Structure 1
Amino acid sequence: MPATQHTPTPAAPATLPADVHYHVSAHDLHARLFAIELRVQAPAAQQQVALPVWIPGSYLVREFAKNLQGLQATQDGASVAVRQLDKQRWQIDCVAGAPLTLSYQVCAYDNSVRTAWLDAQRGFFNGTSLCLRVLGQEDTPHSLEVAATAATAGWSIATGLEPARIDDQGFGLYRALSYDELVDCPVEMGRFWSGFFEAGGVRHQFVVAGAAESFDHARLLEDSRKICEAAIAFWQGAPHGRYVFMLNVVNDGYGGLEHRNSTALICGRRDLPRLGDGKTSDGYTTLLGLISHEYFHTWNVKRLRPDAFARYDYDQENYTELLWFFEGFTSYYDDLLLLRAGLIDEARYLKLITKTINQVLQTPGRALQSVAQSSFDAWVKYYRQDENTANSTVSYYTKGALVALCLDLSLRREDHSTLDAVMRALWQRCAAGPMSEADVLAVLEQLAGRSFAPELAQWVHGTLDLPLAELLAAHGVRLQAEPPQPAQRLGLRVQESHSVLVKAVLRGGLAERAGLMAGDEWLGIELASGAAWRIAKLDDLGFYAGQAQQLTALVARDQQLLRLPLALSEADAPTANIGLAISDNALARRWLRDEPTATDEVLP
């Protein structure tokens, strides 16, 4: 889709490059190479530089240095030696004081929100992937110059960085107060669509790359404005300066990464709203929830942040047990704000909550790992999922959202406060500094008039199931058992096409007892009668097996054909499947619409 005319934020007076200055250009679109020149105005003797191993918001050591190549250094016009000290750190054989210039290239082939991408249509990068850190000078002023080249003719730039001297397309010089600020502002490049809206007195830009011609940009802008206004009303204050949404649209994808005054998003092309279609698809609802989630992070994790993130250590893992709060509570509010913004109704919201509850209840690992442990283990487990993940872990996103739900419903049931008030009180208490679990407990006790230590000990640090049925019932919502789907009944997670590919076998299920393994291709079944059938999906089992309680699964594993005896028992569904239904409209309204008192009006 062609780009609209770029309207840059009014630039500050032109300034010279800062003490640490980066010059970035799209060096070779087909080789996927960015060229970077780093100038250090006043280096130390034997100056060391390093590239981060991770990016804040995505808790995995990703080793960005693997994409860096050709590092060279000059000082006073002469080459100086560069010695690599470890996987991400280099020492330059320079003298103190005289300007030092480093040049290198970065290969950009990751079409995600986390690293860097470059091809003939689009460029994108996070500073953690491109910008070497000058050790000892992280808190000095930094600047970034993104240069226009013949290869990028017709492209524009979008970023949350403060412009110092840029052209109409956004190419030019940007500045930051520190390395942290520099790398917390990703850069989008290309022929993207761009639009603007005001929310809370703040100018918001929305950039979309890769959309089809059917994309309804006016609707996306209006719906995003409603989300931002709902979040600003929640926090009772707007972000500072301006805000930029950068959405990369692909054939199939989903994800987002929060930043100080921007966010990088990715979604499937068919998830965007379409011209002439006023319906809200499930895919578009998911996209709106993602927008809401990342925008909520502007407050919750970027400024109100765990004590472990008071200052990021880019060289190694930064451990915290609080991701259940910062990601989980954000996951609770992302969809709730869609409801408050009028973008979804109560029925769809309850459907989304139901999905979250089922995701947790259908994870056997919830009985083994607490959500606090899940937070701490994110570096080695959440981002490295395998066939045993569901059996050994629980998501701090989903269970953290349910902990938030339980706290909110508990506070409302006691008629003392709400989780909204707790979040705002934490904002006032800790926004200027780090937050700990002790702060959460202190604010809960202050607003509720009693200690919530027993609840957090059980819900956050324990592995027992949450009291969802009891708390929902107190607010007019009934939790009820639903018939298990075939995958739940068997204890499987599968991919279905021309056959059934087993992705995970859940602990204690019928499939595990039969000997099925992740990676198996389930081709068919054989019945006691001698009949044998090919299957393409698990629903075929009921069709071909009828009421049979014993059958043989015909499985391909490592090019071998296996016959595995499978016993089917109605009493052996290994995971729960629940649904939610409103049983008291007035009580439900008080929670869902945040009304202080019940009314007799019936929910639509």
Structure 2
Amino acid sequence: MTQTTLHYTVEVASLHAHLYRIRLTIPVPAAQQVVSLPVWIPGSYLVREFAKNLQHLQAQQHGKACAISQQDKCTWAINCDADAPLSLTYEVYALDNSVRTAWLDASRGFFNGTSLCLRVHGQEQQTHHLQVMPVVSQATWQVATGLHPVKVNKQGFGTYSAADYDELVDCPVEMGTFWRGEFTACGVHHQFVVAGALPSFDTARLLADTQKICETEIQFWHGAKGSLQDTPHKRYVFMLNAVDDGFGGLEHRNSTALICGRRDLPRVGEPQTSEGYTTLLGLISHEYFHTWNVKQLRPFELARYDYSQENYTPLLWFFEGFTSYYDDLLLRRAGLIVDAVYFKLLNKTINQVMQTPGRQVQTVAQSSFDAWVKYYRQDENTPNATVSYYTKGALVALCLDLTLRASRVATLDDVMRGLWQRCKAGPMQEADVLTVLQELTGRSWKKKIKAWVHSTAELPLRALLTAQGLKVHDDEAQMAQRLGLRAVDGAAGVQIKVVLRGGAAERAGLVSGDEWLGLEVGARGQGGSWRLNKLDELKVLLGTEKKLTAWVSRDKRLLRLPLSLPPKSVTWRLSVPADRKAGQWPGV
């Protein structure tokens, strides 16, 4: 360790109080050293105010306490000299069982550096060491992290190194009694750790399937002979927390933190692939693809992270949306799903966008920019005012890929690899996408990108899909879509969660939060009065009748709301002609 290496020691202060204790040693501080804790974590675009969990911050130099003055919500200035090491100690409360912050109890520990590690202003480019101390009461605990080990014991406790602050906080740490497995993909060593799994968990299958995903994606970016010399990561760690109910992931430079339901893991003796396990494989594929697309290829605006505030970019439609397009497509190329499953997943994405009125209000570029205040702060009006840069971004990728393939000049694969060669390990702008497209095809794509990304015009999905031989069916939609609402059935009645813009439910005056208790059938109730527990019961209760009066409870008041059923609405269903052979879909 050099004289300028910053050193963090992380230990458990109290398992049951969920407290980490951190000691930060700054060998050569500034005369008035400023430190701060990030307000957000890259990859999750919301100000989360991690400093709210920091307490008991103290500083010492020359064996004496130093005065600390707080500058703002997450920044402190230490009144110290520049001629001697400065030591800071503090505690962090950790009880967020997600992939974004930190967790600590008697069964498991987990943290991201953005939650625990103060940033030393002016020394972000110095080497940073992280020492993870053993937990005396938990003798069986182990450690897993993507950080480079300097001196660790066989359980993984000890000192790790990061080249700078960005790397330190981009490598989460998992602690506990977890299952660990390993495999090699294209010469790259991979480790998979799973906490909280049931005894029936099929470890061999998860490893084999994940290996196929990793090999497929390395070869996607670097060709059939892709190897350790080509990849931006020389080792990789998957950290999966299996819980009763949960789902999500967060990408990092050479690791990912994942969460899933325990029942979604593959089970010994059950060779069929459940819907939940397919979704988990898609998550693994998605986060691993981010190793290239967002961790290396990076939005221009995020070339250097500002951890103190929002970092706006209009490009999440590319970095999240295109990754969402490829996550399932690469599962198909890896042979982990069949055509029918792939088209079902694609069909689901299409309907999610088509059934969102907000697609006619917000462009996908605006959705990207507004992620900080809209996507990550969803409420009952979100579907009416926004569109997801994940789902619509994936459909933009689909349209671009199918248009390119129809030209027989290039594919979206070529575009992605072209961008990798042009911008790898550096910032990327929309202009780079347009430049690579023009270089590959010899023509401008500005009009199409403007129409698909910067306007609310409908995407040419039907024409592009049918041109590839797919059939697009207009099936009768379920009752919720027909009425224009999203609801949850319950014993007390149907709970209205969302009322969609321009639908029959909005015209009738239904509001998010209403309890729909019952109805009178017919304009004058001539069809009788009925209790309502499930929305789909309407079809049976109404028969051929189109008018009803809804009995609604709102703020303890009972309301009667006349409602007219609109003409049947439709939902898309994709199918493949019977004479089409498996694997003939472009890109498979």
Q: Distance in 2 between matches of 1:467 and 1:518?
A: 32
- Show the counterpart of 2:573: 579
Aligned AA (1:54): W
| Aligned equivalent of 2:16, options 30, 48, 65 | 30
Give the CA deviation at 1:545.
1.9
For 1:479, give the aligned amino acid: V
Q: Is the 8 A contact 1:29 1:151 kept in 2?
A: no
Partner of 1:542: 539
Q: Report the secondary structure of 1:517's partner residue.
A: coil
Rounded to whole Å, the distance in 1 between the matches of 2:191 and 2:490 is: 40
Question: For this pair of structures, how many residues does the alignment match?
Answer: 577
Deviation at 1:585, TM superposition (A): 5.6
- Aligned equivalent of 2:394: 401
Match of 2:6 in 1: 20
Unaligned 5+ segments in structure 2 are none
For residues 17 and 487 of structure 1, do their structure 2 counterparts lie closer, same or farther at Cα, with a shift above 3 Å needed?
farther
8 A Cα contact 1:478 1:581, kept in partner: yes
Q: 1:354 aligns with which of 347, 360, 365?
A: 347
Deviation at 1:16, TM superposition (A): 6.8
Asked if the contact 1:29/1:118 (under 8 Å) is kept, the reply is: yes
Whether 1:51 and 2:37 are equivalent positions in the alignment is yes
Indicate the residue corresponding to 2:528 in structure 1.
531
Alpha-carbon distance, 1:300 to partner: 0.2
Distance in 2, matches of 1:152 and 1:174, equals 21
Deviation, 1:149, is 2.4
**What is residue 150 of structure 1 aligned with on the other side?**
136
Match of 1:511 among 498, 505, 528: 505
**What does residue 196 of structure 2 align with?**
210
The alpha carbon displacement at 1:584 in A equals 8.0
- Work out the CA distance in 2 between the residues paired with 1:77 and 1:585: 81
- Asked if 1 retains the 8 angstrom alpha-carbon contact of 2:233 and 2:253, the reply is no
1:552 is aligned, of 539, 546, 549, to: 549
Q: Could you give the per-residue CA deviations for residues 267-316 of structure 1, whole angstroms, max 9, x where no partner exists?
A: 01111111100111111000000000000000000001110111100011
Tell me if 1:96 matches 2:90: no
Give the Å deviation of 1:97.
Answer: 2.7
The range that moved more, 441-450 or 391-400, is 441-450
Contact 2:316–2:389 (8 Å) recurs in 1: yes
1:405 to partner: Cα distance: 0.2
**Is the partner of 1:456 in helix, strand or coil?**
helix
Pair 1:127-2:113 in alignment:
yes
One of 420, 427, 430 as aligned partner of 1:434: 427
Q: Does 1:42 align with 2:28?
A: yes
Residues 25 and 18 of structure 1: is their aligned pair in 2 closer, same or farther, counting only changes over 3 Å?
farther
Secondary structure (helix, strand or coil) at the match of 1:35 reads strand
- Please list the CA deviations of residues 128-152 of structure 1 after superposition, one character each: whole Å capped at 9, or x if unmatched: 0000000000000000000012133
Q: 1:346 to 1:530 in 2, by over 3 A?
A: closer
What is the root-mean-square deviation in Å for CA atoms of aligned residues? Answer: 1.3
- Structure 2 residue 374 is the aligned partner of structure 1 residue 381: yes
What is the aligned counterpart of 2:474 among 475, 481, 495? 481
> Do the aligned residues in 2 keep the contact of 1:54 with 1:60 (CA within 8 Å)?
yes
1:340-367 CA distance string (max 9 Å, x none): 0000000100000000000000000000
CA–CA separation in structure 1 for the residues paired with 2:325 and 2:250: 17
CA apart distance, 1:587 = 9.1
Q: Deviations over 1:367-395 (max 9, x none)?
A: 01000000000000000000000000000
- Residues 38-67 of structure 1, C-alpha deviation per residue, up to 9 Å, x if partnerless? 100000001000000000000000000000
3-state SS of paired residue (2:549): strand
> Is the 8 Å Cα contact of residues 401 and 412 (structure 2) preserved in structure 1?
yes
Match among 222, 230, 251 for residue 208 of structure 2: 222
Paired AA for residue 541 in structure 2: Y
- Report the Cα distance in structure 2 between the residues aligned to 1:352 and 1:530, rounded to whole angstroms: 40
1:88-107 deviation digits (Å, cap 9, x = unpaired): 00000101131000000000
Q: Could you tell me how far apart the structure 2 residues matched to 1:107 and 1:44 are?
A: 28
Partner of 1:10: none
Distance 1:83 1:200 in 2: 51
Q: Which residue identity is paired with 2:447? A: P
- 2:215 and 2:266 map into 1 onto residues whose CA distance is 20
User: 1:381-437 CA distances to partner (integer Å, 9 max, x unpaired)?
Assistant: 000000000000000000000000000000000111000000000000000321000
Deviations 1:317-355 (A, max 9, x none): 111000000000000000000000000000100000000
Which residue number in structure 2 is paired with residue 5 of structure 1? none
* Counterpart position of 1:597: none
Q: Does structure 2 retain, via aligned residues, the 8 Å contact 1:477–1:584?
A: no
Counterparts of 2:446 and 2:358 in 1: how far apart (Å)?
24
Q: Shift of the alpha carbon at 1:536?
A: 1.7
SS at structure 1 position matched to 2:340: helix
- Matched residue SS, 1:482: strand
1:160 to 122, 143, 146: 146
In the superposition, the TM-score normalised over structure 2's length comes to 0.96
The one-character-per-residue Cα deviations of 1:173-232 (angstroms, maximum 9, x if unpaired) are: 000000000000000000011100110101100010011111111111110000001101
What percent identity do the matched residue pairs reach?
A: 65
Residue 522 of structure 1, aligned match among 501, 509, 516: 516
Question: How do residues 62-73 of structure 1 correspond to structure 2 at under 5 angstroms?
Answer: 62-73=48-59
Deviation sequence 1:542-587 (CA, Å, 0-9, x none): 122222211111111112221111111325x3xx510111248669
- Match for 2:133: what amino acid? A
User: In the superposition, relative to structure 1, how do residues 33 and 585 fare at CA in structure 2: closer, same or farther (>3 Å)?
Assistant: farther
CA contact (8 A) 1:41 1:97 kept: no
1:537 is matched by which residue type in structure 2? K
**Number of the residue aligned with 1:413:** 406
Matched, 1:292 2:292: no
Deviation, 1:531, is 2.1
Cα drift, residue 530 of structure 1: 5.9
Aligned to 1:468: 461
Query: How far apart, in 2, do the equivalents of 1:375 and 1:115 lie?
Result: 22
Q: In the alignment, is the contact (CA less than 8 A) between 1:346 and 1:592 conserved in 2? A: no
Separation (CA, whole Å) in 1 of partners of 2:135 and 2:266 = 34
Alignment of 1:77 onto 2:74: no
Per the alignment, residue 599 of structure 1 pairs with none
- Structure 2 letter corresponding to 1:432: A
Q: Normalising by structure 1, what TM-score?
A: 0.94
Corresponding residue number in structure 2 for 1:271: 264
- Aligned partner of residue 124 in structure 1, secondary structure: strand
In structure 1, the gaps of 5 or more residues are 1-14, 595-604
Q: Is the 8 A contact 1:18 1:175 kept in 2?
A: no
Q: Residues 17 and 245 (structure 1 numbering): CA distance in 2 closer, same or farther, change over 3 Å? A: farther
Alignment CA distance shift 1:586-1:417 (3 Å): farther
Whether the 8 Å contact between 1:44 and 1:96 is mirrored in structure 2 is yes
